Amino acid sequence: MALPAAIPSSRRILAAGEPEWTWRTIRRRVYLGAVMAAGGLLLVQAAARAHLDPLPTVALTVAAVMLSLYKLKLPLASGTSTMSMAATVDFVALLTAGVELATLVAAIAVLLQCTVRVPRTQPLYRSAFSVASVVLSVQAAGLVWRALQGDVTTPTFDRLLVPLSAAATAYFVVNTALVAGAIALSFSTSPVLAWNRDFLWSAPGYFLAAAVGATVALIMVTAAWELLPLAVSPLYISYRAYQISVRRLEEERWHAQELAKLVNATRQALARATQSEAALAAEKERLALESARLRVTVQAINDAVITVDRMGAVLLMNDRARSLASMKPGAAPAGEMGAIFEVLALPPGMYESTLERLLVGGYPVRLRNEPLDQGANIPLVEITGTPTRDQDGRVAGAVWVVRDITDAERIAQERAKAARLESLGVLAGGLAHDFNNILMGIVGNLSLAQGLVRPEESALALRLAQAAAACARARGVTNQLLTFAKGGTPVKKSASLRELVLECTRFALSGSTVAPRFDVAPDLWACDIDHVQIGQVVHNLVLNAVQATPRDGIVEVAMKNVVLSATTPPAGVDLAPGKYVQLTVRDHGDGILPQHLGRIFDPYFTTKKRGSGLGLAISYSIVKAHGGAITAASEPGSGSTFSVFLPASAQ
């Protein structure tokens, strides 16, 4: 975990003064004068009103002076900054002795910080401005502390934490805003930009100083002096961490400057070398422009593009290719196109043989992997290799284009499945209608026969009743076939899925040893649904989960809102962008084998000893009729997850 930053003192070294009386220098001088005048007036008032207790005053002053000497010099975008941890003592004095003593202690500390152990003597107005800005910051923090009735002797949320946080915020905002304004006037930049760039990062340091100050104040109030080292240790750790960070920052900036000098020298040498040959310079400019356009074009391509030389070393790779190569940590070292082939689960040695064939023959090649059943982390891709040629027409390398067709393949399979189900549905609907007509004749004749049976013919009456019951069951099968054939033409009403899903789940679990676990979003959108049909879908999914879950297991049912975009659709789902409600039913059973997962929505396909194989097919048909989608995911031994996407209601 990163250590908190040392408390910045905001004693900023402003830009060098300009001798000319320009509008910018006038505004800067008026601003600096106003700040120094206000800070000086408040400092005089604090000195006049302060009731100094010798021992606390001396102790706090010594602590502030010592902390102010431990400072860091930070290079900023505009000028430099020194940083110390003396603000901690400001908060200790503010909480224990009042704002007047805190103002005096802060002024002494910042004055020493600006004048002692500095690389060179600074103008007096800079030190005065630093003192004034800290005085105003302490006064603002004290005003907020008093307004919120802060009391360190009552360490409660309302009397300590809230006032302390507000006081730290006031200290931070006033201190950094004053200095950001001076920097903005000195360098003609936006105050907001200067504050956001150079000071916003220092906010945690102010709150750390306030927290440590409050802890020390509590120790002083309770006289628990043995805890003092524990209270101040975070400051030392922060100082050391910042010291290391600053050293690294200075080294990096030094290297950057040296590199910039080297680049500048190289550019100058190149410019001198090309001045004598204008044609060569124009050609290089044209090539550079084409190279830049090529890089922009390659980066904009959604497919992975990799350029290699004759030895197979990578010359150019766009971001999509880098993302593809980093799918498996450490699987694609720089310069190895063959490693990318390994990531894509292509056979060992295929890259070398394919590259050799491409370079020797000089014709494009096309490959395709087959990883759909080998793991979810490997996409299905189509790889096209095209030879590149030099100016003499000789093959100099190759360009590989890797296109991820996983989603396209899954959507194609989904569409093929839908077409197959639709054709089967037409057949099932015709058979169901014809069979239903035949059943109507049989049921009618059975009813007439039952009316003609005499009381003493009980055996015949029993046979006729059994035949009528069998016809009723056959009618139920025809109704299932009709539902599968056309989804039953849903009668939609706008309603929430919450109560329907909860009711159907509990009904499906009644009498079993499996318990439900619900996770329902509180702001669930409404959907336009047919209650009966969607209830049948929920019942089928939960019933399948119950049958797959071991005894005393759990079935997880979740509902949430999702927004599908054109660029981030769920895997295997062909839905238009928009708002949807996602229903997820998950069991913890044995899972579905990969060879069976693609057929579970086919009619009459089942792996159960007792089952018709129509439940999921009917559910698929119903969801499609509602304009939604249903998907299944499973790993053997880890259970199965069914997800239903239903369009959210526009009402």
Q: Of 336, 326, 342, 402, whose CA–CA distance to 374 is shortest?
A: 342
Q: Kindly report which listed range (4-18, 34-48, 310-324, 529-543) carries the lowest average pLDDT score.
A: 4-18
The C-alpha atoms of residue 87 and residue 633 are separated, in whole angstroms, by: 57
The C-alpha atoms of residue 90 and residue 171 are separated, in whole angstroms, by: 10
CA angle 373, 376, 380 (to 5 degrees): 70
Q: What stretch of H or E contains 279? A: helix 278-300
Of residues 269 and 41, which shows the higher confidence score? 41
Q: How far apart are the first and last CA of the chain?
A: 48
CA dihedral 138, 142, 143, 147 (to 10 degrees): 160
Q: What stretch of H or E contains 584? A: strand 578-586
Tokens 């010291």 locate to 243
For residues 69-92, one letter each, b for 16 or more C-beta atoms within 10 angstroms of the residue's C-beta and e for the rest, the string is ebbbebeeebbebbbbbbbbbbbb
The C-alpha atoms of residue 606 and residue 603 are separated, in whole angstroms, by: 8
Tell me if 535 sits within 8 A of 626, measured CB to CB: no
Tokens 């907001």 locate to 192
Tokens 């409600």 locate to 581
pLDDT at 9 over 50: no
Provide the β-strand partners of residue 83: 8, 72
The number of angstroms, rounded, from the C-alpha of 525 to the middle of its chain's C-alpha atoms is 23
SS3 104: helix
CA angle 304, 310, 312 (to 5 degrees): 50
Tokens 């297991």 locate to 553
Q: Which amino acid is at 620?
A: Y
The C-alpha atoms of residue 19 and residue 30 are separated, in whole angstroms, by: 15
Average the pLDDT over 152-156 and give the result.
82
Tell me if 111 sits within 8 A of 69, measured CB to CB: no
Structure confidence by residue, pLDDT tens digits, 306-325? 888 877 777 777 777 777 66
Structure confidence by residue, pLDDT tens digits, 45-97? 888 887 777 777 777 777 777 777 766 665 555 555 666 777 778 888 888 88
Q: Which amino acid is at 50?
A: A
Q: Which two tokens stand for residue 59?
A: 């102790």
What pTM did the predictor assign? Answer: 0.39
Structure confidence by residue, pLDDT tens digits, 126-137? 788 888 888 898
Structure confidence by residue, pLDDT tens digits, 451-489? 777 777 777 778 877 787 777 767 666 666 666 565 556
The C-alpha atoms of residue 173 and residue 200 are separated, in whole angstroms, by: 9
Per-residue pLDDT at 331: 44
Of residues 227 and 32, which shows the higher confidence score? 32
The C-alpha atoms of residue 155 and residue 157 are separated, in whole angstroms, by: 7
Q: Which two tokens stand for residue 381?
A: 């891709």
Of residues 76 and 346, which shows the higher confidence score? 346
Average the pLDDT over 363-381 and give the result.
68
Contacts of 576 (CB under 8 A, 6+ apart): 564
Q: How far is CA 199 from CA 174, 188, 535, in A?
A: 11, 17, 58
The C-alpha atoms of residue 477 and residue 488 are separated, in whole angstroms, by: 14
pLDDT band at 119 (very low <50, low <70, confident <90, very high): low
Residue % of the chain over a pLDDT of 70: 73
Per-residue pLDDT at 647: 92
Burial class (CB in 10 A: 0-12, 13-18, 19+), 32: buried
Backbone φ/ψ region at 99: left (φ over 0), alpha (ψ -120 to 50), beta: alpha
